[in-house]
Chains A and B, each alone.
Chain A
Amino acid sequence: MDVIITQEADKTMVVLNGRLDTTNADRFQQDIAPLMNMDKPDIEFDCTDMEYTSSQGLRLFLMLQKNVNARQGKMIMKNMKPQVKEIFDITGFSNIITII
């Protein structure tokens, strides 16, 4: 999973590319660590090229969402492929994370 984080004027753009699974979940956790320390974060994930996420990946998105909530921020995930969206749907994560 490639993670590109760019800071724009009013929000943080994160471009995700590839698969998020057991083999690279730890790496992804390190990659998104900077997002955990922001004041009133406004994070937007571009999931156009995201292929898959395992339940460990879901957990990391959940942790980030909780962190964002605690800091009164906003987090949305955009352009998710149907098969990825399905994973979020089945587990009910779509109820917690804003997916548009």
Chain B
Amino acid sequence: MKRRSFSTRLSLRILLVVSVLFLASIAVVAFWSHRLIAEEAKRSAQNILNASIKDIEKKLVPIEEKVNNVAWFLKSQKCNENTLRVLTGGVVKDADIVGSSVAYAPFAFDSTQYYFMIYSKDVGGELITDQIGSDSYDYFAMDWFRIPYETKKPYWSDPYFDEGGSNCVISTYSYPLLNKQGAVYAVVTADIPMGWIEKKISSIKPYEHSYLTVVSQNGSYINQTFENGLMNETIYTTAKKTGNRQIQNIVKEMMAGHKGVMQFNNGGKISFAVFGPLENGWTAAIVCQYRDVLEKVSRMNSVLVAVCLLGLLALFIFCHHAVKKLTQPITELTVSAMNMAKGNFHAQLAEVETNDEMRRLRDSFAYMQFTLNDYISELRSTTASNERFESELNIARGIQQNMVPRNFPQRPDFDLFALLQPAREVGGDLYDFVVRGNKLYFTIGDVSGKGVPAAMFMSITRILSRFISGSEQGLDEVLGKINDTIADGNESGMFVTLFMGCLNLETGHLSYCNGGHNPLVVIPANGSEPYFLPQKPNIAIGIFPDFKFEKQELVLDKGTRLVLYTDGVSEAERFDKSQYGNDRLLAWAKSSDNIEGEELACRNLLDDVQKFTAGNDQNDDITIMSIKLK
């Protein structure tokens, strides 16, 4: 996953919140504007409908008046055929009227005439007037006569094609004349072509897909005609065909002569119809689709959304830029931190000019850099001094290791090996041997404590022992002299345990003197039990001047092995603080008589001790010396 920068994330969040607010606002605005516009559109459609109705009525009323006048005249006096011809001809003179008639009921004009109907028509500007009632023109069956005859009320007929007359679609207005008995004796009519009304109706188009329709009281369309004849459909059949309950309800309301506004779903297009009746019994309706009505406001909302999106984009760019600029110090401090991590502790920090959190971050960073530098330089000097100390210790270790003999003689009369393993870099153990004539002088010692103080004490002891043992004195005197020399001015209370022996390589005569050291182990050649050399402890060297040391003597058989050691062996400890001890040492000695060579013997004992301590830290210097008289 790609990690986005802080500024991008923050900007996106702001953008998200603002987008939600924007979109919510737009939604509210869109909802209310749609509602208002829809209400307004309904109102305006109603106004248009009312105006259209008035326009149509304005056209129809003069025609009705003209017919009514003729009717009034006919009622007022008995007229002959000529008068009737003049009257109908006068009516046809009106530009909007293409034909007019006075049609009498059977035998009403003349008791001998079943049909009597005077009809005037305008044929290309020429007025033709005739009595046209006959068996071939049985007008009694026609709507324009029959309906007013029966209802005794004026009547506007449905549009019909006036074949043989004006040869166009017309509607006839009929006015019935009533005698004193209240029976209709004649009907006065006027024919008007539908052309004007149709034009008027189809010119009413408030929106692109909206239309005005006018239907007669029978449901026939006043305006919708085919070129070659009348449409068979009525508003009832249309409504039935749609199968739409809403439309059927609207038609029901319309045909009941009500006024109103109703909404319906016209095949997925939500529409509304505004309807109202005309005075003559017709009904008019305007149908509009909401889509048309709301087109402008929808377009406006689209523009609004587009502007918002542009605004959001601008906001995002601005936020991103601003946040990036504000967090620039963090980016720069990150680079500095990386540089510091690479070891450049003097990396230049970016300057922060604002006095805010960034500044404080930068200051703490600078402080960290400062303390880090301090710490590093301190560490460097400590490390340097440690290194110096360590190298000095290593040199001291070298010096000390060279103070004990490392080359062991290959001789026919005896075999000797020794090892010294300090617990630290330098230690307080020592051993020495030297052959003078037929005598082997050997020494082992252990300074109290360990480390550097013990090492210094060891050096002194080592030098004194070699120096003083060279004199032709007994070992008791030698030890006494060493003791006196070291005890002189020894305020530290340190001491050294020291064992010195002198072995006559020809006779096996051993002379020895002990200064508080561990008793050495004697392993006889004949296979009898190993034992500790009987030693007078006397006293450790360096604590009690003028002490009278006593020496001892013993004769060794050829093949006897002497094992000397310091307390690093006998007091070697395990984790549980139990010590190697004298018993284990004797047990080892007993098992060692088949070990050939003193080096092997020394290393075998060291292995045995280390096996015992089982990985526990060596807590004291270890020295082992093994001598075999051959």
Contact = CB atoms under 8 A, between A and B. Distances in A.
Contacts of B567: 55
28 contacts: A22-B620, A51-B577, A52-B571, A54-B620, A55-B446, A55-B497, A55-B567, A56-B449, A58-B448, A59-B448, A60-B493, A62-B495, A63-B493, A66-B493, A89-B537, A90-B497, A90-B517, A90-B519, A90-B537, A91-B495, A91-B497, A91-B517, A91-B539, A92-B537, A93-B516, A94-B537, A95-B539, A96-B539
A55 B447 CA distance: 8
Contacts of A89: 537
Contacts of A52: 571, 577, 579
B493 A92 contact: no
A63 B495 CA distance: 11
B543 A62 contact: yes
Interface of B: 446-450, 493-495, 497, 515-519, 537-540, 543-544, 567, 571, 577, 579, 619-620
Given A54-B571, A55-B446, 8 more contacts: A56-B448, A62-B493, A62-B543, A63-B493, A66-B493, A90-B517, A90-B518, A95-B538
Interface string A70-100: 0000000000000000000111111110000
Most B CB contacts (10 A, CB to CB) among A21, A55, A93, A95 go to A55
Contact of A59 (B495, B538, B539, B619): B495
A59 B497 CA distance: 12
A55 B517 contact: no
A91 B493 contact: no
B577 to A, nearest CB: 7
B544 A96 contact: yes
Contacts of A91: 495, 497, 516-517, 537, 539-540
A92 B448 contact: no
A24 to B, nearest CB: 12
Contacts of B620: 22, 54
Nearest to B619: A22
A93 B540 contact: yes
Contacts of A96: 539, 543-544
A46 B495 CA distance: 25
Contacts of B543: 62, 96
A90 B571 CA distance: 13
A59 B516 contact: no
A51 B537 CA distance: 22
Nearest to A25: B449
A95 B577 CA distance: 28
Nearest to B536: A92
Contacts of B518: 90
Given A21-B619, A96-B544, A55 B448 contact: yes
Contacts of B516: 90-93
A52 B518 CA distance: 16
A61 B288 CA distance: 121
Given A55-B446, A59-B448, A62-B495, A92 B577 contact: no
A49 to B, nearest CB: 14
